[in-house]
Chains A and B, each alone.
Chain A
Amino acid sequence: MRRVFLLGAAVAVALFDVMPLFLVLKQAFTPERESLAWPPAWLPGRVTLANFRSAAAVVDLLPALGRSAGVAAFTVVVTLALAVPAALATRRSARADRALDGVLVLVRVLPSIALAVPLAVLFVHAGLYNHPAGLGLVAAHALVTLPLGYLVARGGIRAVPRDVEDAARLDGASAARVLRHVTLPLARPALGAAALLVFLVSWDEFAYALLLQVTNRPLPPLLYYFTAFGHPGLASAVAALMLVPALVIVLVLEPSLRGGVLSGSAR
């Protein structure tokens, strides 16, 4: 009896939590008129792609999509390029480890808006403000994703057993070869997870995208524009585009998330 009650409660919560996803998709694929009707319908009436067409016709939707993807991809490269060597460095030095941990906590703790204003000034001088490909945004996103990326990468690299590395060394391999052929391949699952997480965070990121890109916008500020002016159909179309990579990544990462990939992180 109690199990049935518990199961019922769990299902109710699950349905409630899935409801936003359902509504976004419903509003994206039904005419905007339906979303503005009163009382609002929960079930789709007519299915159509009109919202996507309208959104693409009025704003530069596809370039925004490309910009979001490009910025996220670049951010992955930059963050891993910075984090992996640092993780390797702090493996041997406890002092560097503590220092870096402390600094990265600060990165995590400082609010975006406090840094965005001076960053905007810096970017203006460097020609990175409102950059067409969003390169300035890459720099800001790398900052945002470094703590998480570093911690996950560090966890993965630390998990590589020393005896395997030592065995390779004894076999005569140089430090570089050990790195390339032993350490990194063994850390690949964690590094893959780190890459996906960084991509996700950059893809979803809203604050810096709003503050540092004015006319060359990625998807999140575009969605905000449609939402702020009350266009549920168009807003949901943009939202549906944003959803696809986000959900895919979370589904792929979900086992690792539960398995404690994050347990070594500050989450």
Chain B
Amino acid sequence: MTRPGLAALPLAAWLLVFLAWPAVYAVRLAFTDPAGGAFPSLEPFRALAGDPLFWRAFANNALLPPLVVALEVVGGLALALLLAGRLPARRWLRTAVLVPFALPEVVFLAIARHLLAPRGYLNGVLAGFGVEPTPWLAPGHATAFAAVVLVDAWHTTPIVFLMLLSALAALPREVEQAARLDGAGDVRRFAYVTLPLLAPTLAAAILLRGLDALRIFATPLVLTGVEGVPVLSSYAYHQWSDQGSDGAAAAAGVVLAVLCVLAAIPLLARRSPA
């Protein structure tokens, strides 16, 4: 009991030093008055509350995850259904579909930015149809928000695709066969047979992807800059890097961490003994 348990000690020690201590320090920073060091103090949070950019970041951080996850799940499901069957060259197709996820995130975002730039590829194609170039990523425009949602979903859809592909492959064939023999049409077979069997995987996908989407950082930062489509992570980065306000950055980080932990409660509850 204790002997094998000791082997987990290095990991526990690592987590203590690099997770527990910084987390405690972050909370401490977030509740320390920057002008004087008084603790506890709500001053950093008051500074956040008075900053319109923080509220924009908060709103975006609440709106983005549901939209991104919805797109990912629908897209991932569609892709999995499309590529699960016996199509020619399906290995190539399945690998090709992984590319947006296989590319390093910064690389993918850099190209997305070039695609959506005022003189970028998308505007170039549209100009061929006589459409005026639109500044898709301009700060303050709704198109910037939509662009962040679409690009992030594009990047992460392959993950959901992979999860559902494995789940589809694991479906018991007899159930499928029985439904087929019943004469159920494709859509009915999907809705009444496949979908319920996929439900656990879908639920897991939504949960996990939702958690990841809450922590979104690079996509809005690289595509639009901090002020374009602010989210809590990039807002905290902005406070730390541009403004030099450690306290405000820590406070924003704490707000985001609380949101993430709250959203993770279903995940923690689901952890049953393996």
A and B touch in the complex (CB under 8 A): yes
Residues of A that sit less than 8 Å from B by CB = 3, 6-7, 9-11, 13-15, 17-18, 20-21, 23-24, 27, 35-36, 38-40, 42, 81-83, 85-86, 88-94, 96-98, 100-103, 105-119, 121-122, 139-140, 142-143, 146, 150, 203-204, 206-207, 210-211, 220, 223-224, 226-228, 230, 232, 235-236, 239, 242-243, 246-247, 250-251, 254, 257-260, 262-263, 266-267
Check B87–A7 contact: CB distance below 8 A: yes
Judge whether B22 and A89 touch: CB under 8 Å. no
* Nearest CB of B to A252, in Å: 11
Q: Mark B86-114, 1 if CB is under 8 A from A, else 0.
A: 01100011111111101111111111111
Question: Are B23 and A204 neighbours in the complex by a CB distance under 8 Å?
Answer: no
The answer to whether B11 touches A20, judged by C-beta atoms less than 8 angstroms apart, is: no
User: Smallest distance from the beta carbon of A82 to chain B beta carbons, Å?
Assistant: 4
Chain B residue nearest to A81 (CB atoms) is B10
Partner of B93, one of A10, A98, A101, A116: A10
B7 within 8 A of A: yes
Q: CB-CB < 8 A to A98: which residues of B?
A: 271, 273
Stretch at the interface among B33-41, B139-147, B157-165, B175-183: B157-165
B interface residues (Cβ-Cβ under 8 A, vs A): 1, 4-8, 10-11, 14-15, 18-19, 21-23, 25-26, 29, 79, 82-83, 85, 87-88, 92-100, 102-115, 117, 119-121, 123-125, 127-128, 158-159, 162-163, 165-166, 169-170, 208, 211, 214-215, 217-218, 222, 225, 232-233, 236-237, 240, 246, 249-250, 252-254, 256-257, 260-261, 263-264, 267-268, 271, 273-274
Given A7-B87, A10-B87, A85-B7, A224-B106 contact (CB < 8 Å): yes
Query: Cβ of B7: which chain A residues have Cβ within 8 Å of it?
Result: 85-86, 88-89
Chain B residues with CB under 8 Å of A140's CB are 18
Determine if A102 and B96 form an interchain contact, defined as CB atoms under 8 angstroms apart: no
- Min CB distance, B247 to chain A, in Å? 9
B5 and A227 contacting across the interface, CB-CB below 8 Å? no
